[in-house]
Amino acid sequence: MILDGWKVTYVNMRNNLKKNYAKIDYNNVLDAYRHGLFPMSEDSNSSDIFWVKPKIRGVIDPYKVTIRKKLKRLLNKHSYFLKINTDFIGVIEGCAKPSKNRKNTWINPSIIDVYIELHYKGYAHSIECYSNNELVGGLYGVAIGGVFFGESMFSKLQDASKIALLHLIDRLKVGNFSVLDTQFITEHLKTFGAYEIDQDKFLVILKKALLVEANFFNMGPSGDLNIGLYPKSNNY
């Protein structure tokens, strides 16, 4: 089966799956990102994968983020503890589960499988929020050059994903990243300075940003990290 020129083949990915899911080559996903595409599924139970190239793209400039007073107060009072890349599987599976605000998601077993592989290859990263040693929220995405391609986030407790996103923005600034690709725009993301650009402008930004030398770990190694120790932008 070929979708928008990207090849996928059908295989049984896990013994407990009763139907076939598309096995995606992680190199195809990396190439797709470099050309402005990303994979999705109709829902978490669908066996199909399609490639999306939005005409209008959501982005965040890490250096122009504005933080409202409410979020500033949240930063000062939050009690979450953050870790990086210690439970990527827990984060992506948390993002794949339905929640109060979303009855279904676009993350099916094919998506989970290939992003776990991207994580093991060093491209996909997770930021995890913990409370009492329990994973209560986080996000994941893919870093290529100076671009971080944000994929999804989840919260089991109030504001956990917001704290994760705020930490990601700081990490991208310290790591010399040029842009955070949010794919689409939500009211939630607008509060962090996300804005829309057309596809042509995004591809121009993407081409330049992919050449930037950036390091996701400039802020520190993976492991136990406390957001309270990190430098904050002037907007915080």
* CB distance 196 to 185 below 8 Å: yes
* CB distance 170 to 232 below 8 Å: yes
Residue 162 is predicted with a pLDDT of: 87
User: What sign does the dihedral 119-120-126-131 (CA atoms) show?
Assistant: positive
The two tokens of residue 140 are 């994941």
The two tokens of residue 166 are 């705020």
CATH of domain 56-229: 3.40.630.70
The pTM score is 0.84
First-to-last alpha carbon distance for the chain, in angstroms, is 48
Cα separation, 148 vs 142, in Å, equals 6
The whole-number mean pLDDT for each consecutive block of 10 residues of the chain, a chain of 236 residues, reads 31 40 90 96 84 95 79 70 92 88 81 95 95 94 98 91 89 95 88 92 98 92 47 43
The domain limits of the chain are 2-52, 56-229
CB atoms within 10 A of CB 204: 11
